[in-house]
Structure 1
Amino acid sequence: MKSYIILTLCLLVVASKSFGQGTTLSLWEGKVPNQRVTDEQETRRQDDIFWVGNVQAPALDVYLPAPRAATGKAVIICPGGAYHHLAYDWEGTDIAKWFNSKGITAFVLKYRLPESKSLVERHKAPLQDAQRAMRLVRKNAKQWNIDPSQIGIMGFSAGGHLASTLGTHYDEVLSTPQDSIDALSARPDFMILVYPVITMQEAYTHTGSRDNLLGAKPDTSLLDEYSNELHVNANTPPTFIVHAMDDEPVPVMNSLLFYQALVSNGVMSEAHFYPEGGHGFALAIGKGYLQNWPNLLLDWIDSLK
């Protein structure tokens, strides 16, 4: 009897943990493109943030709202971490749960990080994973009660660079198509960029993110390729931007450059620049009127046709 009770309690704990974490889906079936077999292992570290590093098996964590509340909209979330690790709860699962409370389906993208020795071409891996994630969500849209024309990408800090890279390089062919999913569009229907790294140019870039993505001495062509303000055009998705003016690690000029490019190309966009907030504020809980930015975002999402 005692052993039965212990087993029952263990199963309840596991079930509770699984529900809280959402369902996890591998991005790729079979061989992951642009990756060789090594002895590297994913790392996980918990302090006041849950950090994931050295990702070897890119995946999507799926967070579904209650069916009765579902709006049909969805967002894929790219946590930040300077392309070195992922702030997985702070800029990932916490955000997904907030979206669920608003009837929006959310996905946290565990993307490969370019410092891994498993990668063949380091700078391509994050974008490959982001493209695949968008296509995978579109493939399963009906199953998840999602409108396939209302799927956005969101990113924080270096995750904002990845999100804006997808928004400006969604049709770039990075590897041989693996299956029918790769034939679907990878273009986001909208973008949400929160204190994003945008440019790789020396004056305003976040050096850590640039060096981790492109290496210590990248050539000019790579710097230009991943300076996303240079690749905005009329087909760039509508974009919502949030940044604090006193952000030291990632200067606000990153967002200003991208916003200027959006305006110049006639892309529907909205930007909120706060005088204070620093870097890495996520939902900005307890930070005065800065903590209202998610509500402004919700209003903007509701306004999208």
Structure 2
Amino acid sequence: MKRIFFLLQWIMFISIGGYAQVIVPLWDIKDLPNYQKSNDKEVIPPKDITFIMKVQTPTLEIYLPSKQSSNGKGILIIPGGGYGGVAYDWEGTDVAKWCNSMGLSAFVLKYRMPQAASVKVGHKAPIQDAQRAMRYIRSRADEFYIDKDQLGVIGFSAGGHLASTLGTHQEIYYDDNDAIDKEDFHPNFMMLIYPVITMEKGVTHMGSRNNLIGKNPSEEMIKKFSNELQISDTTPPTFLLHSGDDKAVPVENSIRFYQALLKAKRVADMHIYPAGGHGFGLGKSNKDAPDWREIAEDWLNRK
């Protein structure tokens, strides 16, 4: 059954020539970890952006440049949404198109939410999906025109927290299931855009904290998911970007992570803009938002 499931994915992929985007599930539903049956259905409320709530089936949407344009790098894109949903186009597919323009193969993650009725243990679901996504991409690296050692992650807001969890936690959050799970899940570089980093009150984004670890978390859980405390000598090179007037996710989140990276003698590049607020995506949302793509492209070219 597994063979048929992934064969169908492969047929769907090659049938479009590998150049257009295609969406693939990360698991066969019977193998989905941390799952229980529920009446939940995915919801996309009316908004200016595509915001997906109550995610039931974690997926990757694959965006590939032409083979001739590929630079051998890949990037997993994790949109934000306060661990209550996924800002799918604003911080996902729009970013993928930009990445393709630079020659990167891009993969947009639609991940499960901790509070979903179909999830058994809330805090595990997002990182399970992110770890599986990295392994899935590496398992098909040749098909996606990438070098396994040139696969990074970019995350926005709460997606930045999930990206930093992927890059700092050593724990494997689900049992190996198939050949895909023999691959490494760690990113080779991280790009964290106005990220939630810490779970400490007064600094964190409380909505993200409440959704991920609950309203009355233990001190152990607070420390475990305060990712400035999880940096080690394996944490990859990191690009950080934030605005000083961010009222939703204080800039101290990025500053703490940057300082912890320096203390651990890890490679870090941080850019703080005086204005821009929160949730500015690629920087075109308003006249005060930073257009940060040029400095990010320069950083990526040096990876």
**Scaled by the length of structure 2, what TM-score is found?**
0.91
- After superposition, the C-alpha distances for 1:128-157 in whole angstroms (9 at most, x for unaligned) are 000000000000000111111100011000
2:130 aligned with 1:135: no
Q: Kindly report which structure 2 residues correspond to 1:1-305, keeping only aligned pairs within 5 A, or say none.
A: 22-29=21-28, 30-169=30-169, 171-285=170-284, 287=286, 290-304=289-303
Matches of 1:46 and 1:66 in 2, distance apart?
34
Shift of 1:31: 2.3
Query: 2:104, 2:202 → 1: CA distance?
Result: 37
Change (3 A) 1:291 1:68: farther
With 209-218 and 39-48 compared, the bigger mean Cα shift is at: 39-48
Q: Which residue of 1 aligns with 2:8?
A: none
Question: What secondary structure does 2:165 align onto?
Answer: helix
Cα distance in structure 2, aligned partners of 1:235 and 1:58: 27
**Residues 252 and 116 of structure 1: is their aligned pair in 2 closer, same or farther, counting only changes over 3 Å?**
same
- Segments of 5+ residues of structure 1 without an aligned counterpart are 1-14
Alignment match, 1:10: none
SS at structure 1 position matched to 2:269? strand
Q: Following the alignment from structure 1 to structure 2, what is the Cα–Cα distance between the partners of residues 230 and 191?
A: 16
Cα distance in 2 for partners of 1:291, 1:246 equals 12
1:210-255 Cα deviation digits (max 9, x unpaired): 0001111111111110000000012101000000000001000000
Give the ranges of 4+ consecutive aligned residues of structure 1 lying more than 2 Å apart after TM superposition: 286-292
Q: Secondary structure at the match of 1:44?
A: coil
The number of aligned residues is 287
Residue 240 of structure 1 aligns with an amino acid whose one-letter code is F
Describe the superposition over 1:75-109 as per-residue Cα deviations: whole angstroms up to 9, x where unpaired: 10110010001111000000000111111110100
In 1, the alpha carbon distance for the partners of 2:295 and 2:238 equals 13
Query: Any conservation in 1 of the 2:157–2:194 contact (CA below 8 Å)?
Result: yes
CA distance in structure 2 between the partners assigned to 1:211 and 1:79 by the alignment: 18
* Separation in 2, partners of 1:161, 1:286: 22
Tell me, in whole angstroms, the C-alpha distance in 2 between the residues paired with 1:218 and 1:115: 14
What letter is aligned with 1:92? G
Structure whose CA Rg is larger: 1
Distance 2:100 2:282 in 1: 14
* CA shift for structure 1 position 117: 1.3
Question: How many angstroms apart in 1 are the aligned matches of 2:82 and 2:108?
Answer: 17
Q: TM-score, normalised by structure 1?
A: 0.91
Q: Kindly state the Cα deviation for residue 290 of structure 1 after the two structures are TM-superposed.
A: 5.0
User: Aligned AA for 2:265?
Assistant: G
What is the identity, as a one-letter code, of the residue corresponding to 1:136?
Y
The CA distance in 1 between the partners of 2:56 and 2:287, in whole Å, is: 39
Name the SS for the 2:132 alignment partner.
Answer: helix
Structure 1 vs Structure 2 CA RMSD: 1.8
Q: Is the 8 A contact 2:58 2:110 kept in 1?
A: yes
Distance in 2, matches of 1:174 and 1:110, equals: 17
Q: Which runs of 5+ in 2 are unaligned?
A: 1-14
